[in-house]
Structures are given as C-alpha cells and as structure tokens.
Amino acid sequence: MSVREGNVRGEEAGPPRRWLWRLIAGRVVVAALLLGMSALWAGGLAANAHESHRLGGVVPLVGAVLALSASYALALRFSSLPLRAQAGAQFAFDALLVTWLVWATGDLNSPYSALYIIAVSVASIFLGARGALLMSVGCAACYTATMLVFALGWVGGARDLTPASLAEAVETTGLNDVAFLVVGLLAARLAERQTRSEVEVREATSALASLRALHERIVESIRSGVITTDLRRRVYTVNRAAEEMIGYAAEDLRGKDVSILFGDITRQIEDSLRAADEGGVSPRHEAECLTSEGFLVKLGYSISPLSSESGETTGLVITFQDLTDVRSMEETSRRQERLSAVGRVAAGIAHEIRNPLAAMRGSIQVLRSEMQADPAQAELMEIVLRESDRLNRIITDFLTYARPRKFSLVETDLREPLRETFALLRHSPEVVDGHVLEEDLPEVPVPALADAEGIKQVFWNLARNALKAMPGGGRLRAEMRRARAGVVRITFADTG
C-alpha cells in the first residue's frame, strides 16, 4: 500500500470516537472561558459602554454552545451517522458560531475573529488535509460576508462610507482572509504529513510484529530446547521443545533461577562466555534434570550470550537436547560388548568343564551297571550323578546370563504382562495369607514398543523383591499411568 493510498484511507476512516468526546469537552471549556472573560469585562474592565456591549454579546453564544454540545453528545452516543460526518457537522456549526460571535461583538476590529484560526487548526487534526482546506475556505467566506454586511450597513443602520473607510474594510477583510487561507494550507500540510507518519508507523509496527511472530515460530519449531535468561540467570522464555523435554510449562519456569534445571552452572557460564569473547566454539556440557513427573533425563547443553543491538550482553541463551536415549543406547552397547566378551570366555570355560564332567558321569554310570548291588555304593554313585547334573545346570545358567537373548521389540499392550505377572504371583508359594496384591490399570490399552518377555521378567523381579521385603504379609500395589505423550509411569509400592 502506498503512502498516498494510506492517507486517503486514513482520512476516510474518520477520527476515533474518544477524540470526538474530547472535542465536545474542549468546546465546553472554551465556552466557559469566554463566559468568564465576558463577565470579568462587564464587571469593570471594559473601557466604555460600547466595549462592554461588545464582549457582553458572548452570553447568548455560550448558551448555544452548551445546547449544541449536548446534541453532539447524544448523536455520538446513539446515532449511527459516521464519525467523520459528525465531526464535519460540528466544525461547520463552529464556523457559524464564530461568525455569530464576530457579528454580535463588533465590527472589523472584533477580537474574536482569531477563533477562526483556532477552528481551522483543530479541524486539520480531526478532518485531515482536505477538511482543513474546506474549513479555511468556509471561515473566510463567513468572515467576508459578515464584514460586507457591516461595511454596507445592512445591519444596524446605514453607515457613511468614505473611500478611506471602504479601503480600510477591504484591507482588513483581505488580510484576515489571507491569514485564514494560509493557516488552512499550513494545517493541511501538517495534517497530510501527520497522516503519512501515522501510516508509516503502522506499517513499521505491522512489519515488526510479523517479524517477531516469524522469529517466535522459528524458535517454537526448533526441536532443540531453547531457554533464555537474564544476567541473573532467571528464566525469561522457554520454547515448546524445552517444555516437552523437561515437563514444565513456560509459565511455571518464568522468573525462576535456571539452576533448578541444570544445577550450579557458574563455571560452565564462565567457560562459555570466555569462548564467545575469544571467538571460539561454545563448549558442550551435560547435566541431569529431574522432570516434573519425577523422571531423570540427561541433557546436553551449550550456553551463548544474548546480546542487544548495541552489542551489550543482556542475558544468556541455553540450547539443549535430550541425551537420555543416546546415553542409554551407549551404555547398552558397552554392556553388550562386555557380556559378549564374558560370553566368549564362558563358552570356552563351559566347554572345558563339560567335557571332563561328561566323561566322569559316563564312567560312574558304567561302574554302577557293572558292580554288584551294594546299597551304600549305589547311593554314593547316585549322589555323584545328581551333583554332576546340578553342576551342568549351573554352567547352563551362567551361559544364559553371560550370553543374554536378543530382545524382540513389538507392539505390546503393557497391561497384559502386568496382569500375567500378578496372576502367577497369586499362585506362587511365596505369597502367604497376609499378602494383598492390587492392580490399578487403565481401562484403555496402553500400547508401547517393548519386549514382552523381558518386561514381564522385570515385573516378576520387582514383585518378588517386594514380597521378600514383606515376609509376614503386607500390601503390594502396582499402578500404571500415562505421564505425558509417549511416557508411561509404572509404580510398584509395598508396605515392607
């Protein structure tokens, strides 16, 4: 939109409603001041009776102003007429009222002719450049007509017109008309410039608002957490990704010390600011953060200075990522490597043990079949066979631990492994009469990508540990709840 189009649209839109209320109030104030001046003048300051009569003519005009102001207020409150039309009508009546005041209080030398200039100037504020020009032309026409009536004696009786008096009348009227028109032109110019400035300010404000909204959308779309703080480390802004990672809403963190999330980071801030001053890469740090749901997450973060337009550091920008899954996978990989190495050693040891163990067992079986039945010797041989079988089972269990099976992640309703675990527990010899088992599960399925057998083993181990903590009886309660999107909280609680 061009500035010229903005000017036209701004003039067509009309003044705000509150401006018209102020105009009505200002008009009443001016009328009161004129009435006060008239009363003061009539009370003894007038030089003669003629002057007293001139200024005393203000009184009926004040009554008209008050009546018209009441009409303007009613129209502004209840009328559907456009505000610009109401403002134009008010200024038209103002021109007529000033003309009446000039006519009622004097001749060519009426002191109230200056009110025309005030009316033109105020009209430029409310009606714009075009309204100011029309108001100046209207005021000049009213003043010229009034002076013409006085000069020709059409009102108040005939007057002796001499060439000198006629020249004076023409000169005074012409100068005043020129003054009205010049004021109108200047006011119109100022009004046009003001309108152009307002349009430019509105466009700049709109552009800044759009740019700010774009920046906010960019920050909210980043999948890394972003937190800004002031120099006292109080949280100022938090983006959506940060809220999802730490589980806190931005409103809950705003104004609080950032240490509630990352701990004491004084040294990290100093290192980061030093690196920024030296033009180096900001170092990476790690911290453990306790979420609002009570989960412990590992965060990798970096700190950068937040600078103003002048380059002064006004705060800090902390960007971070959730490294919990990454660190978990790294730990799992290291554990698998260790177990793989142990498994290879265990397989070799088991092979070396099982070979002589099998030979020993076979030899005992041969001896038992060839020797005469001696109860004592037969019992000893049976013990040797039984203990060799137990040793073989121990080796098998050790290999199972050293070489765990591979996990199979499938879509699983987490309620089912928990139900099966508690069903087995109720028939377990570890459960006595004093034990009470409770399950609190959601009514809707809780799907998750998990290893059903592995998670069932976890449930079984937790439940057995709880029962061992309550050998004489007690309450074991398992509860399953959705903490937030993508997170399920499973709680085992006992009274042991």
Query: What angle (nearest 5°) sits at the alpha carbon of residue 454, between those of residues 473 and 246?
Result: 90
d(CA 416, CA 238): 38
Q: Are 342 and 362 in contact (CB under 8 A)?
A: no
Structure tokens at 74: 């009613």
Q: Is-contact 412 448, C-beta < 8 A? A: yes
Residue range 97-108, pLDDT digits in tens: 888 888 877 666
Read off the tokens for 151. Answer: 């000069």
Question: Which DSSP symbol is given to 304?
Answer: E
pLDDT by residue, tens only, the chain of 496 residues? 444 444 444 444 557 788 889 888 988 888 888 777 766 665 554 444 445 555 555 677 788 888 888 988 898 888 888 888 888 898 899 888 888 888 877 666 777 788 888 888 888 888 888 888 898 899 889 888 888 877 776 655 545 556 766 777 788 888 888 888 898 888 888 888 888 888 888 888 888 888 888 877 877 778 888 999 998 889 988 888 888 888 888 888 888 998 888 888 888 888 888 888 888 888 889 888 888 777 888 888 999 998 887 878 889 999 998 888 888 787 877 877 777 777 777 777 777 777 777 777 777 777 777 766 567 777 777 787 888 888 887 777 776 666 655 667 788 888 898 888 888 888 777 888 888 888 888 888 888 888 888 888 888 888 888 888 888 888 999 998 887 777 888 999 998 7
Match domain 410-494 to its CATH number in 3.40.50.2300, 3.30.565.10, 3.30.70.20, 3.40.50.300: 3.30.565.10
Task: List the chain domain ranges.
Answer: 3-205, 223-322, 329-402, 410-494
Burial bucket for residue 329 (CB in 10 Å: 0-12, 13-18, 19+): exposed
Distance between start and end Cα atoms, the chain? 76
Looking at domain 329-402, its CATH architecture is: Orthogonal Bundle (1.10)
**Strand order across the beta sheet in which 296-307 lies:** 235-238, 225-230, 313-322, 296-307, 285-290
- pLDDT per position as a tens digit, 425-473: 887 778 888 888 888 888 888 888 888 888 888 888 888 888 888 888 8
**What gap in Å lies between CA 87 and CA 15, rounded to an integer?**
8
Q: Which residues contact 190 (CB under 8 A, 6 or more apart)?
A: 124
Q: What is the pLDDT of residue 234?
A: 92
- Domain 223-322 fold: Beta-Lactamase (3.30.450)
Tokens at 170, concatenated? 């023409």
Give me the residue label for tokens 């997170």: 487
Nearest to 258 by CA among 298, 301, 222, 208: 301
**DSSP 3-state helix, strand, coil percentages of the chain (rounded to 5)?**
65, 15, 20
Distance CA 79, CA 179 (A): 36
- For residues 360 and 369, give the distance between their C-alpha atoms in angstroms, rounded to a whole number: 14
CB 125 within 8 A of CB 165: no
